[in-house]
Amino acid sequence: MNVATPLIGKCCVVTGGTGGIGLVTTRRLVEMGADVIVVGRDTGRCLAAKLAIQQTTGRDGVEFLQADLAELDAVRSVAETISKRWDHIDILVNNAGGMFGKRQTNSQGLEMTFALNHLGYFLLTALLLPKLNAAPERSRIVNVASEAHRRVKLDFDDLQSEKSYRGWLAYCRSKLANLLFTQELARRLDPQRVTVNALHPGFVATDIGVRHSLMPAFAWWLAKFAAISPEQGAATSVYLASSPEVADAHGLYFRKCKPVKPSPAALDSEAAQRLWDVSVRLTGMT
Ligand SMILES: NC(=O)c1ccc[n+]([C@@H]2O[C@H](COP(=O)([O-])OP(=O)(O)OC[C@H]3O[C@@H](n4cnc5c(N)ncnc54)[C@H](OP(=O)(O)O)[C@@H]3O)[C@@H](O)[C@H]2O)c1
């Protein structure tokens, strides 16, 4: 197989690379020559994914670090490990995400969907920014969001869904948070040094719907017939992470490798700033 290797020498970080879209994203980046650090939650799944990637790519370009990204201390600890071992990062793909059928909280008492899908992205990015800024060439941040963001607005009076919880709505709000975070981060970054963009991968046949019992397994199995493959689902993540065509793209939202307009709620700069301030407070970042 003759695979182009435009990412030789590039150092990437991908979260949630043990399954679904993240696993394919990681494999494609490794195939293109990158060295990829994957942050995964489960050691066994990390080992299995590493073996599978080695076997299919014939390369040893992937290293797994274990961390539960719904736990802010674990995010801090893995960011510290990455920062000690690598002098720069060229590409960060924030991909790890989940849906939770019942309201759950992390050890800090933060609602799990918000903690994993939004604060995990926010804190890991903030902690790795010095390493992204240290890249010899312009580095990239890619945030995996979703079209699900179009269905909701953020309720700043109940960001933790304490008053009422519905798993799907909490998920939609967390994906809106991904877009507001992308917008506010884009405003704060120097795009000549670091760019940030978000994307919708499509409706992809992964296990996200059943992993945390949002949907009955049979319903999810049926729904998956309408879905695209994880290979197709990873295409826009890989495009934003690697293509020269989007070297200048910044603060945009992509679907099927094309920029599209997100919902009006995702373009609300006041909400973006407010979410940023709340996230700073909750994570203790300055
Ligand atoms: N599938 C879709 O149709 C779809 C549509 C729109 C957007 N998305 C987005 O795409 C991204 C990837 O989703 P997917 O469909 O590929 O889901 P998936 O197959 O369930 O994979 C999710 C990945 O995230 C990891 N993860 C989950 N919770 C974690 C935690 N607490 N700490 C660290 N890693 C954790 C999982 O690790 P484990 O292997 O340990 O569980 C897995 O590697 C998500 O951000 C999702 O919101 C998906």
Domains in the chain: boundaries? 11-283
pLDDT of residue 144: 98
pLDDT of residue 264: 98
Report the residue count for the chain: 286
**Helix, strand, or coil here: 48?**
helix
In this predicted structure, the answer to whether residue 226 has a pLDDT above a threshold of 70 is yes
pLDDT of residue 218: 67
Whether 41 lines ligand 1, by a CB cut-off of 6 Å, is yes
In this predicted structure, the answer to whether residue 148 has a pLDDT above a threshold of 70 is yes
Query: The sheet that has 139-144: what strands, in order across it?
Result: 62-66, 35-40, 11-15, 91-94, 139-144, 194-200, 253-255, 258-260
In this predicted structure, the answer to whether residue 1 has a pLDDT above a threshold of 50 is no
In this predicted structure, the answer to whether residue 214 has a pLDDT above a threshold of 80 is no
Task: Select from 103, 16, 104, 113 the least CA-distant residue to 68.
Answer: 16
DSSP tag of 267: G
Q: Which two tokens stand for residue 53?
A: 């990637």
% of the chain exceeding 90 in pLDDT: 90
pLDDT of residue 2: 42
Q: How confident is the model at residue 220 (pLDDT cuts 50, 70, 90)?
A: low
171 is catalytic: yes
Whether 207 lines ligand 1, by a CB cut-off of 6 Å, is yes
**pTM above the 0.75 mark?**
yes
* Alpha carbon of 97 to ligand 1 centroid (Å): 4
Q: What integer is the mean pLDDT of 54-70?
A: 96
Distances (CA, A) of 60 to 24, 80, 280: 16, 23, 37
Considering only residues 227 and 178, tell me which one the structure prediction assigns the higher pLDDT.
Answer: 178
Catalytic residue among 121, 171, 239, 253: 171
In this predicted structure, the answer to whether residue 198 has a pLDDT above a threshold of 70 is yes
Is 46 in contact with 19 (CB distance < 8 Å)? no
pLDDT of residue 137: 97
Whether 95 lines ligand 1, by a CB cut-off of 6 Å, is yes
pLDDT of residue 210: 66
Instruction: Point out the ligand 1 atom lying closest to the alpha carbon of residue 145.
Output: 7
**Helix, strand, or coil here: 169?**
helix
Sign of the Cα pseudo-torsion (123, 127, 128, 130, in order): positive
pLDDT of residue 219: 67
Is 72 in contact with 115 (CB distance < 8 Å)? yes
Q: What integer is the mean pLDDT of 249-262?
A: 98
Q: What integer is the mean pLDDT of 117-126?
A: 98
The CATH architecture of the domain made up of 11-283 is: 3-Layer(aba) Sandwich (3.40)
Q: What integer is the mean pLDDT of 167-179?
A: 97
pLDDT of residue 208: 84
Whether 118 lines ligand 1, by a CB cut-off of 6 Å, is no
Mean pLDDT score of the chain: 94
Query: Alpha helix locations (H) across 39-119?
Result: 43-57, 72-85, 112-113
Q: How confident is the model at residue 34 (pLDDT cuts 50, 70, 90)?
A: very high
* Beta-bridge partner residues of 193: none
Whether 150 lines ligand 1, by a CB cut-off of 6 Å, is no
Instruction: Point out the ligand 1 atom lying closest to the alpha carbon of residue 23.
Output: 43
Instruction: Point out the ligand 1 atom lying closest to the alpha carbon of residue 202.
Output: 5
Which of 95, 151, 203 maximizes ligand 1 atoms within 8 Å of its Cβ, making it the mutation to test the pocket?
Answer: 95
Whether 268 lines ligand 1, by a CB cut-off of 6 Å, is no
Q: Give dist(CA 5, CA 93) in Å, integer.
A: 18
